[in-house]
Amino acid sequence: MSRALILSNGELAVSLDERGEVRDIYYPHVGLEDHVRGHYLHRIGVWIEGRMSWFSEDAGWNIRVSSETDALASSITAIHDELRVELVFKDIIHHKESVFLRRVSVRNLADHVREIKLYFAHQFEIYKSHGSDTAYFDPVSHALIHYKGHRVFLMGATLDGVAFQDYATGRANFQGKEGTHRDADDGKLSQNPIEHGPADSVFGLYGTYAPRQSRTAYYWMVAAQSIADAQALNGVVTSRSPEQLIKAASSFWNAWVNANTWNAGGLSAEHLALFKRSLMFSRAHVDNDGGIIASLDSDMLQYGLDTYSYVWPRDSAYIVLALDSAGDTNVSRRFFEFCRDVITDEGYFMHKYLPDKSLGSSWHPWIRDGKFQLPIQEDETALVIYAFYEHYKRTHDLEFLQNMFNPLIERAANFLVRYRDPVTNLPEPSYDLWERKRGSSTFTCCTVYGALVAAAELSKILGKDTHEEQYRKSAEEVREAILKHLWDEKSGMFLNMIHAEEGTKDATIDMSSVYGIFSFGILPADDPKLARAFESTVRTLSHGIHCGGIARFQDDDYYRIDTVSTGNPWMITTLWYAEYLTARAKTPADLKRVRDIFTWTDAHAAFSGALSEQLHPQTGEQVGATPLTWSHAAYVSAVIKYLDKAREIGV
């Protein structure tokens, strides 16, 4: 089940599924140490008149998980017509303290007095390891505590100010035991005070409700690295009150997302609402130590060998480009510091990293056909340098540039200069941005050109004349080589890649090829050659896609659903086309096609605003990691470029 909403403060991150239940809890890094891991569940249940109903089990619940427009917070409504009860949630993580908060308004829809019992059940896999946990009721803080080593989670709750009355601890997913939440099926709990091993827990809030009466419950979970710290943080919640913390966090996000006033420029309210949500979804994936996670959707683990909970320098570069353009330059600064710390001595980045700056998993080998090769995607190194220059142009932070030039900019740029074929002047082979093929791809070559121009400009700012000359000369050599070796006059298309050593060409039509030529300025947007290649690419990669959108490349088999289409449409590639149309727009009427793409994007977002990686080509159903941070960043970037162009041509 995909993730409908990600809540985060840079240290604690919680994901909610389409039923509004907790599926992932990351702490103390965003994207590292998922203490639920998706295959366990923090359940929500209601007991009324002898019937127990859990959100995850009872199809009678009509649940809509949405989100607020001006705060990284949920807006969830759950109605059960047969039980005649309605629950309305607002969930948020405090912007400073590692506290997950839920406000739940419980309303009796019946015309008679009833007792309604609200249950919250917890199943942890602390340190991503099943067993050796302890769960116990703490009478001092009147809370349930789960702990293992330096990871502690404390849960509390009140109903109209009165703490939960009933609780139980037990074991789950062990020796045939489904979980202690089954203890609530009869409307009362055992009050077993402690359990160890694969421990779980549940507590209940019991209340009498008059006809149509609504009562307010608050639930909270604090995360800490010691029991004493968790208890102290729980004291902050109870002394300040959960509602006050919710309001403070909401105010923070409201100020953050509205820091700039965006002229509508002909965009609809729905376009701008998704823009704000995309900003917040992007920010939710940022770890306090600078890493930016591709996706916190652990459901990917159920269908593949790994998740997307890693820092890909490529994805992250595009995300900081978007956040920078929206005015949040603090994220970029921390990301570049992260990059400084992980770049190799030789000047390149590896495939991906964990947010604690350790090396992530990879499938790129160090040897091929008995020969050594670098297991890298060179565009990742290039895009970081390109993004740094864009960051500098917005901040003019000369001191930061001085501090980062030698360990990051110079080191990477020198590698880009060296890592080129001496015959063609193109970059040596590396894996492409889709992580599938190895060669000298058009997109990667374009990013190298963009990075070397950026390095030259940064060198010029610091008065490093020799560096500037070297980088600018190398950049022009790469550009000339792209136009010489990667343009196919016969087809009127840019090649996907070439293999210089083998003397072979890959003519697969790939959206990244034309986007790279356009985006990094190899050719201007209105160049006839580029225009012909771009429109031909879009036509080919839209073939057989009933729901709209553009595939990555011909016959893309990743999560492929049918053979009618050339592949599943991706949010990123479709929004790249919006950028291209924006750049070519000359009149207000030209921008309508761009707005149509924004409308398409909004139509295929979840109720919460979450954008997936790709879509079912016929139904438009979300496919792949959801939310995908890069999809949200692509929407933010496309909207801001649209607004800039709209202002330029007088919309």
CB crowding 227-247: b at 16 or more within 10 Å, else e: eebbbebbeebeeeebeebbe
**Residue 495 structure tokens:** 């090649």
Predicted TM-score of the model (pTM): 0.96
Does residue 611 lie in a domain region? no
Lowest average pLDDT, out of 5-14, 320-329, 495-504, goes to 495-504
Are residues 339 and 223 part of one domain?
no
- Helix and strand element counts for the chain (H, E): 15, 31
Within 8 A by CB and 6+ apart from 425, the residues are 477, 478, 480, 481
Q: Tell me: the pLDDT tens digits for 342-353?
A: 999 999 999 999
Are residues 342 and 237 part of one domain?
no
Where is 372: in which H helix or E strand?
strand 371-372
184: confidence class by pLDDT, cuts 50, 70, 90 = very high
- Collapse the DSSP code of 260 into the 3-class scheme (helix H, G, I; strand E, B; otherwise coil) and give the result: coil
Query: Which of 196, 307, 338, 271 minimizes the C-alpha distance to 625?
Result: 307
Among the candidates 193, 222, 257, a domain finishes at 257
Does residue 620 lie in a domain region? no
Give me the sign of the Cα torsion angle 266, 271, 273, 278.
negative
Per-residue model confidence (pLDDT) at position 147: 98
359: confidence class by pLDDT, cuts 50, 70, 90 = very high
Alpha-carbon distance of 617 to 347, in angstroms, equals 40
Backbone φ and ψ for 201, nearest 5 degrees, come out as: -160, 165
Mean pLDDT of 335-341: 98
Are residues 234 and 94 part of one domain?
yes
500: pLDDT strictly greater than 90: no
Query: Which of 281, 382, 392, 286 minimizes the C-alpha distance to 334?
Result: 286
Alpha-carbon distance of 41 to 123, in angstroms, equals 6
301: confidence class by pLDDT, cuts 50, 70, 90 = low
Query: Which of 6, 637, 7, 10 minimizes the C-alpha distance to 326?
Result: 637
Per-residue model confidence (pLDDT) at position 635: 98
Does residue 603 lie in a domain region? no
516: confidence class by pLDDT, cuts 50, 70, 90 = very high
Per-residue model confidence (pLDDT) at position 385: 98
Does residue 274 lie in a domain region? no
319: pLDDT strictly greater than 90: yes
Backbone φ and ψ for 580, nearest 5 degrees, come out as: -65, -45
Cα-Cα-Cα-Cα dihedral of 239, 240, 241, 242, to 10°?
-120
Q: Tell me: the pLDDT tens digits for 8-21?
A: 999 999 999 999 99
220: confidence class by pLDDT, cuts 50, 70, 90 = very high
Give me the sign of the Cα torsion angle 358, 361, 362, 366.
positive
Alpha-carbon distance of 46 to 70, in angstroms, equals 30
Mean pLDDT of 625-651: 96
Q: Which amino acid is at 39?
A: H
Per-residue model confidence (pLDDT) at position 16: 97
Per-residue model confidence (pLDDT) at position 39: 81
Domain of residue 194, CATH code: 2.70.98.10
372: confidence class by pLDDT, cuts 50, 70, 90 = very high
**Residue 274 structure tokens:** 């998704």
Strands (E), 94-160: 99-108, 114-123, 133-138, 143-148, 151-159
Q: What is the mean pLDDT of the chain?
A: 96
Q: Tell me: the pLDDT tens digits for 547-595?
A: 999 999 999 999 999 999 999 999 999 999 999 999 999 999 999 999 9
The answer to whether the beta carbons of residues 146 and 171 sit under 8 Å apart is no
Q: Which domain holds residue 175?
A: 3-257
Among the candidates 494, 519, 544, a domain finishes at 519
The answer to whether the beta carbons of residues 173 and 198 sit under 8 Å apart is yes
Angstrom CA distances, 310 to 3, 356, 374, 438, stand at 17, 10, 20, 21
The structure tokens 């879509």 sit at 615
Per-residue model confidence (pLDDT) at position 300: 66
Q: Tell me: the pLDDT tens digits for 589-617?
A: 999 999 999 999 999 999 999 999 999 99
Does residue 474 lie in a domain region? yes
Alpha-carbon distance of 627 to 614, in angstroms, equals 10
Does residue 288 lie in a domain region? no
Per DSSP, the residues of 209-228 read: E-TT-EEEEEEEEEEESSHH
Q: Which amino acid is at 31?
A: G
354: pLDDT strictly greater than 80: yes
Q: Tell me: the pLDDT tens digits for 113-153?
A: 999 999 999 999 999 887 789 999 999 999 999 999 999 99
Task: Return the percentage of the chain with pLDDT > 70, whole number.
Answer: 99
Does residue 557 lie in a domain region? no
Mean pLDDT of 300-329: 88
Per-residue model confidence (pLDDT) at position 38: 74
The answer to whether the beta carbons of residues 146 and 134 sit under 8 Å apart is yes
Are residues 515 and 366 part of one domain?
yes
Does residue 368 lie in a domain region? yes
Q: Tell me: the pLDDT tens digits for 468-493?
A: 999 999 999 999 999 999 999 999 99
Are residues 355 and 231 part of one domain?
no
Are residues 350 and 207 part of one domain?
no
383: confidence class by pLDDT, cuts 50, 70, 90 = very high
Per-residue model confidence (pLDDT) at position 173: 81
303: pLDDT strictly greater than 70: no
The answer to whether the beta carbons of residues 4 and 610 sit under 8 Å apart is yes
305: pLDDT strictly greater than 80: no
| Count: domains in the chain | 2
Per-residue model confidence (pLDDT) at position 10: 98
304: pLDDT strictly greater than 60: no
Mean pLDDT of 359-384: 96
1: confidence class by pLDDT, cuts 50, 70, 90 = low
Mean pLDDT of 517-537: 97
Are residues 142 and 18 part of one domain?
yes
Per-residue model confidence (pLDDT) at position 213: 98
Among the candidates 471, 501, 519, a domain finishes at 519
